[in-house]
Amino acid sequence: MKLEVYPDDDRFLLGEGPLYDEETDELHWIDITGCAIFTHRHGEPTVRYDIGEKPGVIAVRSKGGFVVASKNGFSFLKDGKLDHIVSPFGKDHPILRMNDGAVDCKGESNAADRPECQNLVVVLTRNSVLSGRFWAGSMADVEEHHDANKNRGILYRLDPDLTCHAMDDGIGIVNGKICSGQTLPQIILSRNDLLPTAFADILCLIGVCWSPDNSVMYMADSEDKKIYIYDFDAESGNISNKRLFLDTAISYPDFNPDGACIDSEGYLWWALWNGSRLIRIAPDATIVEEVTVPALRPTAPCFFGKDLSSLFITSSGAQEGGVQEGGVQEGGKNFVLKDVKVKGLPKFKFGG
C-alpha cells in the first residue's frame, strides 16, 4: 500500500465525511468548521458549496443532489442551496449540531397511508422501494459552546418519506456508523416539527457502517472511545441488542475513534483522532493492521475508484481560532491510500 497527498492540494479546517459516488466517479467531502461541501472529479477543478452552516455528514440522493445533516438538522442540497426538511433538536438547538452518519441498504415509503405524514412537502409513490434511509447523529457544538453539556448525542434515522426517528441516545459524538443497538422509542417527526429534548446521555456519535450482509450496524461514541455494535433489521430499519464491540482506549488511551468505513471482507477501517493513523479491525474486534497518516487528526476514510481498491482519507487542519496543527505538516489535507489489498463496498443513496 502507498499513501499520497490527494492532488487537490488544499487544506481544510475540519475535513470530514468522505463519500464516493460510483455512478458519477466523484468524490465528495465536507469542511465542518468551514461550512462547506466539496465535489471533485479526477482532472477537473474541485467544486465548493458554501452552505452557511456546519455540515456534519452528506449522502447522495437517488433523485439527484445531496441530503445533508448539519447545524440546523436535515436538508436537501441542490444547485448549491439548502432546503431544510426537519430540525429535530427542540429547545437545545443553539448548542447542537449533526456530526456523522450514513445511508443503509433499504427504505420503503407508504407515506400516502400515514396520517402523520400528510403535511409533508414531498409525498412519495405508495409502497415504492427506495435506495436507503439516512442515519445521522447529533452532538454538542463545543466549538461555539465550550461549557455545553456534551451528553447530547442522539442517533436519528431519516426515512425516504422524510419522517425522522430517534433511534439511540446517551452518546457523546457519533462517528463511524455500522449497524447494531438497543431498540428505543422512535419519535416520528414530519416536516418542520421539533423533537422534544428527551435524551441527554450521548456524547459524540461517529463512524456509522453496516456489515456486508447488513445484519449488524457499527457506530462509535468518540468521546468515551468505544465502538458499539447493534443487530440491524434491514427491512424495518430497527436496531437492537446494543453491545460493546471495542474499547479503543485499551490500545490507544490518548486517541479517539473518528470516522470509519467497512471493506468487502467485513473488516472496519477506523480513523483515530490525535493518533495519526487508521486501524483495520476484524469482525471479532481484533486490531489487525495500522496505517500511519501524516496528519495528527485523520478524520475518516472511504473506498473509491472504479474497483473500490483505494482509500480516500480526510483530516483536520486547524484548532480553535484557525491555528495550523503544530508539528504535522500535512494536517488538513486529503490523502489517498493506493493498492489496498481488499475492496470496499459501494455506498447506498438516500431514497428521499
Separation between Cα atoms, residue 343 and residue 352, nearest integer Å: 28
d(CA 300, CA 347): 15
Residue with the bigger pLDDT between 124 and 339: it is 339
DSSP string of 298-310?
Answer: EEEEEEESTTS-E
Strands 55-60 and 107-109: unpaired
The answer to the question of residue 344 being in a domain is: no
Distances 210 to 72, 176, 213, 281 between C-alpha atoms, Å: 26, 10, 8, 14
Tell me which DSSP letter residue 322 carries.
Answer: G
For residue 163, give the nearest of 122, 213, 204 by alpha carbon. Answer: 122
pLDDT in tens, 154-207: 888 999 999 888 886 555 444 554 332 333 334 444 443 444 333 335 567 889
Lay out the sheet containing 26-31: strands in order across: 15-21, 26-31, 36-40, 47-50
Q: Is residue 323 part of a domain?
A: no
User: What's the pLDDT score for residue 209?
Assistant: 95
pLDDT at residue 92 greater than cutoff 60:
no
User: Which pLDDT band holds residue 141 (cuts at 50, 70, 90)?
Assistant: confident
Looking at per-residue confidence, does 266 or 154 come out higher? 266
List pLDDT tens digits, range 268-319.
Answer: 999 999 999 999 999 999 999 999 999 999 999 999 998 999 999 999 986 5
Is residue 218 over pLDDT 90?
yes
pLDDT value of residue 328: 59
Residue 222 lies in a domain: yes
Site of grid cell 474486534: 285
Please report whether residue 177 resides in a domain: yes
User: What confidence tens digit (pLDDT) does each residue in 234-246 have?
Assistant: 999 999 999 999 9
We report the CATH number of the domain holding residue 150 as 2.120.10.30
Kindly state the cell numbers that stand for 152: 447530547
Q: Is residue 319 part of a domain?
A: no
pLDDT at 109 over 50: no
Question: Considering only 114-128, 220-234, 256-270, 332-346, which range has the smallest mean pLDDT?
Answer: 114-128
- What is d(CA 96, CA 205) in angstroms, rounded to the nearest whole number? 12
262 within a domain of the structure (yes/no): no
Our count of domains for the chain comes to 1
pTM score: 0.84
> Residue 319: what pLDDT?
56
pLDDT value, residue 9: 67
Over residues 114-134, the pLDDT tens digits come to 333 333 222 222 233 347 999
Task: Please check the confidence at residue 54 and state whether its pLDDT lies above 80.
Answer: yes
Cα(35)–Cα(50) distance, integer angstroms: 6
Residues in the chain: 352
Distance CA 331, CA 297 (A): 7
Q: Is residue 241 part of a domain?
A: yes
pLDDT-based confidence at residue 49 (cuts at 50, 70, 90): very high
In a domain, residue 276? The reply is: no
| pLDDT, the chain, mean | 81
What pLDDT, on a 0 to 100 scale, did the predictor assign at position 322? 41
pLDDT digits (tens, 9 = 90+) for 310-334: 999 999 986 544 444 555 578 999 9
Per-residue model confidence (pLDDT) at position 129: 33
pLDDT top residue among 283 and 221: 283
Q: Of 133, 227, 103, which is closest to residue 173 (Cα–Cα)? A: 227
What are the b/e assignments for 118-144, b being 16+ CB within 10 Å?
eebeeebeeeeebbbbbbbbbbbbbee
Residue 323 in grid coordinates: 491555528
Task: State the Cα–Cα distance between residues 18 and 115, nearest whole angstrom.
Answer: 37
Q: Which residues contact 92 (CB under 8 A, 6 or more apart)?
A: 152, 197
For residue 194, the enclosing domain spans: 17-255
pLDDT for 111: 34
